[in-house]
Structures are given as structure tokens and as C-alpha cells.
A = this chain, B = another copy of it.
Amino acid sequence: MTVMKIFVIGAHGQIGKKIVSKLVAEGDQVFAGIRQPEQAEAFEDAGAEPVQFNLMAQPEDLALAFQGMDAVVFAAGSGGQTGYDMTLMIDLDGAVKSMQAAEIAHVKRYVIISAEFTPDRSRWPRALQPYYVAKYYADEWLKTRTRLDYTILQPGTLVNDAGTGKVTVNPQVGGEITRDDVATFTVQALNAPATIGKTIAIINGSTPISDAVNQK
């Protein structure tokens, strides 16, 4: 397998950290986008290269961090502790700016972590509707306004159990999936051309991830 240079946005997040460590384990060269300098050391110890990265910046500035990368992974999220102002600034506009930055830096491959049912407004969980609005318009921008080789991963309800290595792709129903399996799917999707140009919903199931990423 070729060594890839991969930039992970939101490397310090719950899924981000797992993506970084799995990519390092695969032998890839991983650039961990972090907001706070004190997050750097842990990534250095883990064999990744920490990079100061702030999604409040303009696309032209973000693009500087993407020079020479083979892929960008968007695993950032404003999180439940901040207000919906940050949902607008990070989950929507920050995501779109990172897509524009990838294009400016001529990085073709772009994988974003979205959420199950994002494409269908009528299925958005009521209490989380504003969050889904942000995710929806970010995903739509990626699909229709960029020429990136994108993959949009839409996991079900995230849980912290141990990874199972198995998923159900595009289920009709809701379901849970471990953050570990979302990270594994992301890492394997980066090497799976069959996932390019696709929006893929995943919950835990019975298909090995290594098969799931190669399904046409």
C-alpha cells in the first residue's frame, strides 16, 4: 500500500483521534489539525504531525495547511458544549471552507463524517434539527459545488463500545455504530475507489468493513 499524506480536521475529537491512530498504524503520514497548542504533544507521541488549524480562517489560509496532501478528512464538529453559532461557523461554513481549501490546494480526495438521515429532512431527530441543517447544507455543497473525489459517511447513533469491524451499509432504519468502526470505515474508505462520489450510511451490522468499502 502506498504511503499517503492525510490531513485530519478535528483530529482531537472522539472519532478524529481514532482516525489518526489507525492511519498511523497503517503507515500513513498523518497531519493532525488541532486548535489548541497543548493538544500537540499527544499527537507527536502517537506518531502524527500536529498542525495548528482554525476553521474560522478563510479558505486561502486553510489551503496552506493542505499543500501536498493526498486526502483531507473532515472529522470536526462544534460539539454539544458550544452554541448554534458555532454549528453555523464550524459544522457548516467551516466544512465548506475546508472543501474550498482542498480545491485550492489541489487535494482531490475528501472524506467527511456526516450523520445518518441527513439527506431526509423529515427524519431529522427533532431536538437536533438545527445541527442537521448545518450538516445537510455542508453535504450538499460537497456533492454539487465541488469537483472533489468525495465520500460522505453518515453513521447512525455513535456509541463508545469496542469496534466490531462490521457494518450494514445504507440501512433503511436507524441504528448504532461504534466510533471505532466509523474510524475504521473512514480509514479503509480512503483506499477504496468504490467509495468515491458516494454518500454512505453505516450502522453496525454483519458486513466486514473491508468488504463494505469495496461494494459498488
Contact = CB atoms under 8 A, between A and B. Distances in A.
A130 interface: yes
A64 B52 CA distance: 50
Interface string A169-190: 0000000000000000000000
A93 B145 CA distance: 18
A125 to B, nearest CB: 14
Interface string A133-173: 11011001100110000000000000000000000000000
Instruction: Name, among A87, A88, A136, the residue most crowded by chain B CB atoms within 10 Å (CB to CB).
Output: A88
B144 A89 contact: no
A120 to B, nearest CB: 11
Interface string A106-123: 000000000000000110
A85 interface: yes
Nearest to A131: B88
Contacts of A145: 140, 144
B58 A130 contact: no
Interface residues of A, number: 23
A58 B145 CA distance: 24
Contacts of A134: 88
Contacts of A53: none
A137 B84 CA distance: 16
Contacts of A80: none
A83 interface: yes
B92 A133 contact: yes
A129 interface: yes
B87 A88 contact: yes
A133 B93 contact: yes
B84 A129 contact: no
B130 A89 contact: yes
Given A84-B84, A85-B129, A88-B134, 11 more contacts: A58-B122, A83-B84, A84-B88, A84-B130, A85-B130, A87-B88, A88-B88, A89-B133, A92-B137, A93-B136, A144-B144
